[in-house]
């Protein structure tokens, strides 16, 4: 009896790619593969790549080269590369890095088992072609059930749609993931129930543009209707909306977020810029005035809402005055969290062909200046929370006596955390159980550590919303 194939998996990029990784892991486990976290013990390593920015390409190529090295020193006999970089570069990827045995495109996920289990012996000669699973261009609605989850049990990502129809001039994602294609609402509700039965109490709704949910499948209630459906799924304590798009964020969606008990008071709304000329050049379909009206409506309708956004600095032609306007806006509006990216010239995008490309040092200076402005905002907002009582979700075991947790305004992996000061061993088992990962606990905020909060539990365990 030959032993099961040992497979290690490297998942790069965003939460949508992570869902693909979890799905492929589920298929490999179902096919009898033994999943190992130790690449040096693996027969096959799968690298699920990100490819939407040049920096992501560099990271992917470096990771793949590192894995291929293992062939020389360990039992590793096969390297399978999947994901967005494969979709973007296709077969030409084989010319950029040596030692790859198979390529799996984003729409050929189902082929990962064949790609992993093919061709036992190590590739000997350079001319031996890699196996290509690249065929399907037009994306179909993915069935993301039966995943082998990589996230901690207590939270999960639920992808409600893939692809995008927005066509921002700097973005390669539509050319990689195709036009928007959403899952039917009943499939999403079923997937949410599966994730809950697998231990998730927090469900993070993701997509490239979640606010366009349902447009391509004629689901008229749209995102608002979906939120109200998911609000009836027992076992979800926190339902979080991520990757919203400003131009179509309707009052119905805001009302649904305000009305639904399980929907957390949190909005992730990438704005990318605020200056009218730059927004137009980015093809963002909004201007400053409509952006400000939307943000005010959300704050009025959802008191205490936490808002996260992302901004791109150094877009072609961005003048000092336009950048200063962005900094002044960030200072004035006070986002709870802000991601800042230097514009990345992607040759196969309209913005990549624009005049007025800025030098890297100017972009880096602007990233730093905007991050500094946001730091002042974030620190003062955090200081303003001292003394507040918050509901937090315990994230993991204690680290140096402090238990990591998140309040509703802190999304997993991208935002700050709340460190719980515990009484440690003096408190005994009761506290330890009550502060187990995935527990919901009421705490009083006691202070700030950089961007993070510190807090003490006020009650040991909160009732979970059933
Ligand atoms: S909304 Fe714009 S930035 Fe986001 S995925 Fe779509 S095209 Fe890209």
Annotated domain spans of the chain: 6-133, 155-384, 389-462
Question: What mean pLDDT do residues 280-290 have?
Answer: 97
73 strand-pairing partners? none
Range 259-276 average pLDDT: 98
Work out which ligand 1 atom sits closest to the CA atom of 208. 5
Supply the mean pLDDT for the chain: 92
Q: Give the model's confidence band at 428: pLDDT under 50 very low, under 70 low, under 90 confident, else very high.
A: low
Is the CB of 283 within 6 Å of ligand 1? Answer: no
- Tell me the C-alpha distance between 97 and 60, whole Å: 10
Q: Tell whether the model's pLDDT for residue 193 goes beyond 50.
A: yes
Query: With 60 as the cut, is the pLDDT of residue 126 above it?
Result: no
The CATH code of domain 155-384 reads 3.80.30.20
- How many other CB atoms sit within 10 Å of the CB of residue 393? 25
Confidence check: pLDDT of 463 > 60: no
The whole-number pLDDT of residue 238 equals 98
Q: What is the pLDDT of residues 32-64, one digit of tens each?
A: 999 999 999 999 999 999 999 989 999 999 999
Rounded to whole angstroms, the Cα distance separating 43 from 353 reads 43
Probe target for ligand 1 pocket from 162, 174, 181, 216, with the most ligand atoms within 8 Å of CB = 174
For ligand 1, say whether the CB of 250 is within 6 Å of any of its atoms. Answer: no
Question: In the prediction, which pLDDT does 2 show?
Answer: 75
Backbone φ and ψ for 285, nearest 5 degrees, come out as 60, 15
Q: Cα of 171 to ligand 1 centre, how many Å? A: 6
CATH architecture label of 6-133 = 3-Layer(aba) Sandwich (3.40)
Report pLDDT digits (tens) over 307-359. 999 999 999 999 999 999 999 999 999 999 999 999 999 999 999 999 999 99
Judge whether residue 18 has pLDDT over 80. Answer: yes
pLDDT band at 119 (very low <50, low <70, confident <90, very high): low
Question: How large is the average pLDDT for residues 142-159?
Answer: 94
Residue 245 Cβ contacting ligand 1 at under 6 Å: yes
What is the pLDDT, as a whole number, of residue 333?
96
245 CA: nearest ligand 1 atom: 1
The residues near 175 (Cβ < 8 Å, ≥ 6 apart) are 88, 348
Mean pLDDT of 432-443: 88
3-state secondary structure of 162: strand
Q: How far, in Å, CA of 198 to CA of 365, rounded?
A: 45
pLDDT of residue 277: 98
pLDDT at 73: 80
What is the rounded distance in angstroms from the CA atom of residue 245 to the CA atom of residue 264? 18
Q: Compute, in angstroms, the gap from residue 341 CA to the centroid of ligand 1.
A: 14
Q: Which two tokens stand for residue 8?
A: 């290690």
Q: How far apart (Å, rounded) are the C-alpha atoms in residues 20 and 415?
A: 22
The tally of CA atoms less than 13 A away on the side-chain side of residue 402 is 13
Give the separation between CA 402 and CA 422, rounded to whole angstroms.
7
Please state which of the ranges 149-153, 209-213, 419-423, 440-444 shows the lowest mean pLDDT: 419-423
Let me know the angle formed at the C-alpha of 273 by 268 and 279, rounded to the nearest 5 degrees.
120
**pLDDT tens profile 213-225:** 999 999 999 999 9
Q: Which residue in 58, 44, 33 sits closest to 10, CA to CA?
A: 44
State pTM to two decimals. Answer: 0.94
- CATH no. of 389-462: 2.40.50.140
| Rounded Cα distance, 307 and 270, in Å | 10
Q: Are 199 and 439 in contact (CB under 8 A)?
A: no
CA 137 to CA 145: how far, in whole Å?
Answer: 22
What is the 208 CA–ligand 1 centroid distance (Å)?
6
């Amino acid at each position: 009896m030959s032993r099961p194939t040992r497979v290690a998996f490297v998942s790069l990029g965003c939460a949508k790619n992570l869902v693909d990784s979890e799905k492929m892991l589920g298929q490999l486990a179902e096919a009898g593969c033994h999943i190992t976290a130790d690449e040096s013990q693996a027969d096959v390593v799968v690298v699920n790549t990100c490819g939407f920015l040049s920096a992501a390409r560099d990271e992917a190529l470096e990771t793949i080269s590192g894995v291929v090295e293992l062939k020389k020193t360990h039992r590793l006999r096969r390297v399978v590369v999947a994901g967005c970089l494969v979709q973007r570069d296709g077969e030409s990827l084989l010319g950029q890095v040596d030692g790859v045995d198979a390529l799996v495109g984003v729409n050929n996920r189902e082929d990962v088992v064949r790609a992993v289990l093919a061709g036992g012996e190590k590739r000997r000669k350079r001319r031996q072609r890699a196996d290509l699973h690249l065929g399907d261009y037009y994306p179909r609605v993915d069935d993301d059930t039966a995943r082998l989850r990589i996230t901690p049990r207590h939270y999960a990502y639920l992808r409600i749609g893939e692809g995008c129809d927005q066509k921002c001039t700097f973005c390669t994602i539509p050319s990689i993931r195709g036009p928007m294609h959403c899952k039917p609402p009943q499939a999403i509700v079923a997937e949410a129930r599966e994730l809950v039965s697998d231990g998730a109490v927090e469900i993070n709704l993701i997509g490239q543009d979640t606010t366009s949910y349902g447009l391509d499948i004629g689901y008229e209630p749209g995102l608002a209707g979906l939120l109200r459906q998911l609000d009836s799924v027992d076992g979800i304590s926190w339902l979080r909306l991520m990757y919203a798009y400003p131009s179509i964020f309707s009052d119905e969606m805001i009302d649904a977020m305000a009305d639904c008990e399980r929907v957390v008071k949190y909005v992730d709304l990438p704005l990318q810029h605020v200056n009218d000329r730059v927004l137009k050049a980015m093809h963002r379909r909004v201007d400053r005035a409509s952006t400000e009206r939307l943000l005010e409506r959300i704050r009025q309708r959802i008191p205490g809402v936490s808002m996260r956004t992302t901004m791109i600095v150094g877009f072609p032609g961005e003048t000092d005055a336009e950048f200063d306007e962005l900094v002044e806006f960030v200072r004035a509006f006070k986002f709870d969290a802000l991601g800042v990216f230097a514009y990345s010239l992607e040759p196969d995008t309209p913005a990549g062909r624009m005049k007025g490309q800025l030098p890297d040092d100017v972009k880096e200076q602007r990233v730093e200046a905007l991050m500094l402005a946001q730091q002042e905002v974030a620190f003062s907002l955090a200081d303003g929370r001292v003394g507040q009582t918050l509901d937090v979700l315990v994230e993991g075991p204690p680290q140096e006596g402090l238990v990591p947790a998140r309040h509703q305004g802190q999304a997993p992996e991208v935002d700050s955390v709340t460190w719980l000061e515990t009484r440690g061993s003096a408190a005994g088992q009761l506290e330890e159980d009550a502060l187990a990962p995935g527990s919901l606990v009421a705490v009083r905020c006691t202070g700030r550590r950089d961007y993070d909060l510190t807090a003490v539990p006020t009650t040991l365990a909160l009732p979970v919303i059933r």
